[in-house]
Chains A and B, each alone.
Chain A
Amino acid sequence: MMADAFLDIADLSIVLRSDRAHRLLRSVDLHVNPGEVRGLVGESGAGKSMIGKTIFDILPRAVEAVEGAVTLGGTDLLALSSNARRREIAAAAALIPQDPLTALNPVRRIEGQITDRLTAILGFSKKAARDRALTLLEEVHINDPERVLRSYPHQLSGGMRQRVLIAAAFAAEPKLIVADEPTTALDVTVQKQILRLIAEMQAHHGTALLFVTHDLGVVAKICQNVTVLFGGKVVEDTDVKGLFAHPAHPYTAALINATPRYDRPDQSLLPVPADVIEATRAEIAKADAEWLSQRGQTLKAAS
């Protein structure tokens, strides 16, 4: 455990409620230092979003964190009551969600959706919160912030909505922002803009950023460190230069190889080789068996 990490996830395991021997996250360690930009990379289903959801206490009902600690700014979140936890989170962290189309409430104006947290949780006056919202919208390069504040989400484009959500995430000056594949739902041309915007806002505010993505190219561009996840298990945790120069895990090396190269359009796309996946799966199965043999009895007792 690193003492100076702002977000420190240690030994986190998440299981299905219906089958508590089935782990979705397998003893995950992850830490983000103040001001650090960390990429969290993995295929779909690797458990990337699950980590973000655990931090914010928005896990689906079907799963449950059974062991491990999530420490945010020195406070162990999993030990808190649900009410204390949401206040702690609201003040210290924010989420840039995956799909800007559904992440804004369709029947409420933009203004309230940016200022809510400021007025209701952090005690801003209405006027101060509105001024803050206007400043933020300017920071995310929206030309007519007054009008956007009065708009409903359906009156804005997808890119605009993601800008609004980025502004809302930075509203309370959180120490940590989790960006959960923030460009996946957007048009390719808009993706690049949004990516640059997030990097720019992060640099400007000095916020720690956990950037969840499946795109190693994006990681190379904006992250300092990276955690690679496969099947809910951390297979690599290193800095970006080290990741591309000498990946420690064969899966990571295969993943880097599989990234399409724009400079070699004639080269066909390489899949991650089956034997690498098999080997990694075997590794996970072994770790699972060990974990189960240690905790099998308690798990049975609990369920």
Chain B
Amino acid sequence: MADIAQTAPQSGPAHRRRPLPLRLVLSGTWLLVVLICAVFAPFIAPHDPLAQDLLLERLPPFWMAGSEPGYYLGTDGLGRDVLSRIIYGARIALTVAFVAATAACVIGSALGLIAGYYRGFVDQIVSRIVDIWMSFPPVLFAILLVAVIGTGLHSVILAIIVIDWIRFCRVVRAETFVQVKLDYVDSARVAGFSRLTILIREVFPNTLPTIVALLSLEMGIAVIVEAILSFVNLSISTDDPTWGGMIAEGRTIIYFAWWVLVFPLIALFLTVLAFGQFGEGLKDRFDPVLQ
């Protein structure tokens, strides 16, 4: 029966590498720059981010008249170097982004998978909790939480986890619903696998593209929440440089020294944008179903 024999596709498993999409390259590059800044801050930053020098206060950025060499992005109202503070601020922003988003992701995704896969009673409980959670205004909830458990990096991270796990839970639950209806789940069942094995080995990998995209997005959101909490002075101590804190300080002197507010704002904006784009780009590029 050679006439019905078939060959594997030309491309084969080691399929040709498509060029990386531009948004993945751009967002990845920016995140890498921020990461390097965060890790090597003491070596990169031109000045001590906490060193005050009242003789050098409100220096403009380097291209404007009156700027001092070495203070590229100017200084704030206490004479601290804005560039150095932005570089050090990346540390806190990224710490919060990674730790809080990852923890929220693990908790939310696990509950979402279980609720979406086992349905019934478990799903009822998880979904009702999510409903209740969603009816709180999230930022207000965070502020309330930090006010109760005290300020500090730990509190900020905890607040973000407590607020944002539902984001993962809802999306992953919905995605699991869709996956469970597909025939490969039945095939695995027919092949004799237990429900737990099927959930972990068959269903979970299929939800990963969604989870990864959401994780990246969530890191951006975590950066924003941290900035908001810093802005209302509920993050870590005001001395430590955070982007939100710098924006808050800059707001009071925006008419004399706009750069104190604008540069951290740009860093914040680009980072949040990059996280979102990076996640979407990853999903586009590596989701085998979309290929």
* Complex Cα–Cα for A143 and B12 (A): 13
A107 to chain B, nearest CB (A): 4
Task: Indicate if the CB atoms of A147 and B12 lie closer than 8 Å.
Answer: yes
Q: Mark the stretch among A24-32, A53-61, A128-136, A218-226 that contacts chain B.
A: A53-61
B183 at the interface (CB under 8 A from A): yes
Interface residues of B in 149-199 (CB under 8 A from A): 182-184, 186-194, 197
Task: Indicate if the CB atoms of B192 and A121 lie closer than 8 Å.
Answer: yes
Give 1 or 0 for each of A43-78: 1 = CB within 8 Å of chain B CB. 000000000000011100100000000000000000
CB neighbours of A148 from chain B (8 A): 8
Q: Mark the stretch among A149-157, A231-239, A255-263, A282-290 that contacts chain B.
A: A149-157
* Complex Cα–Cα for A151 and B10 (A): 11
Provided the pairs A86-B192, A120-B193, A151-B8 are in contact, do residues A58 and B186 lie with their beta carbons within 8 angstroms? yes
Task: Indicate if the CB atoms of B184 and A104 lie closer than 8 Å.
Answer: yes
Chain B interface residues toward A at CB < 8 A: 1-2, 4-9, 11-13, 15, 119, 182-184, 186-194, 197, 202, 205-206, 208, 288-289, 291
Task: Indicate if the CB atoms of A90 and B191 lie closer than 8 Å.
Answer: yes
* Complex Cα–Cα for A72 and B6 (A): 35
Provided the pairs A61-B119, A150-B13 are in contact, do residues A103 and B187 lie with their beta carbons within 8 angstroms? yes
A144 at the interface (CB under 8 A from B): yes
From B5, B11, B13, B193, give the contact of A141 (CB < 8 A): B5
Task: Indicate if the CB atoms of A87 and B192 lie closer than 8 Å.
Answer: yes
User: Please, which residue of chain B has its CB at the minimum distance from the CB of A99?
Assistant: B183
A297 to chain B, nearest CB (A): 28
User: Please, which residue of chain A has its CB at the minimum distance from the CB of B120?
Assistant: A61
CB neighbours of A159 from chain B (8 A): 6
CB neighbours of A163 from chain B (8 A): 6
* Complex Cα–Cα for A81 and B187 (A): 19
From A61, A106, A113, give the contact of B288 (CB < 8 A): A106
CB neighbours of A107 from chain B (8 A): 205-206, 208, 288-289
A15 at the interface (CB under 8 A from B): no
Task: Indicate if the CB atoms of B12 and A155 lie closer than 8 Å.
Answer: yes
CB neighbours of B11 from chain A (8 A): 155
26 pairs, A vs B, C-beta closer than 8 Å: A56-B186, A57-B189, A58-B186, A58-B189, A86-B194, A89-B192, A90-B191, A94-B190, A95-B190, A103-B184, A103-B186, A105-B205, A106-B184, A106-B288, A107-B205, A107-B288, A116-B193, A121-B191, A141-B2, A143-B7, A147-B12, A148-B8, A151-B9, A155-B11, A196-B1, A200-B1
Chain A interface residues toward B at CB < 8 A: 56-58, 61, 83, 86-87, 89-91, 93-95, 97-99, 102-109, 113, 116-117, 120-121, 141-144, 147-148, 150-152, 154-157, 159-160, 163, 165, 168, 193, 196-197, 200
* Complex Cα–Cα for A154 and B13 (A): 10
Task: Indicate if the CB atoms of A144 and B8 lie closer than 8 Å.
Answer: yes
CB neighbours of A87 from chain B (8 A): 192
Task: Indicate if the CB atoms of B192 and A97 lie closer than 8 Å.
Answer: no
Task: Indicate if the CB atoms of B187 and A108 lie closer than 8 Å.
Answer: no
CB neighbours of A104 from chain B (8 A): 184, 187
Select the residue from A93, A113, A155 with max chain B CB neighbours within 10 A: A155
* Complex Cα–Cα for A142 and B9 (A): 11
Which 4 interchain pairs have the tightest Cβ spacing?
Answer: A90-B192, A103-B183, A150-B13, A117-B191
Task: Indicate if the CB atoms of B4 and A156 lie closer than 8 Å.
Answer: no
User: Please, which residue of chain B has its CB at the minimum distance from the CB of A155?
Assistant: B9
- Given A58-B190, A116-B191, 18 more contacts at CB 8 Å? A95-B187, A97-B187, A104-B184, A105-B202, A105-B205, A107-B208, A108-B202, A116-B193, A120-B197, A121-B192, A121-B193, A141-B5, A142-B6, A147-B8, A156-B8, A163-B6, A197-B1, A200-B1
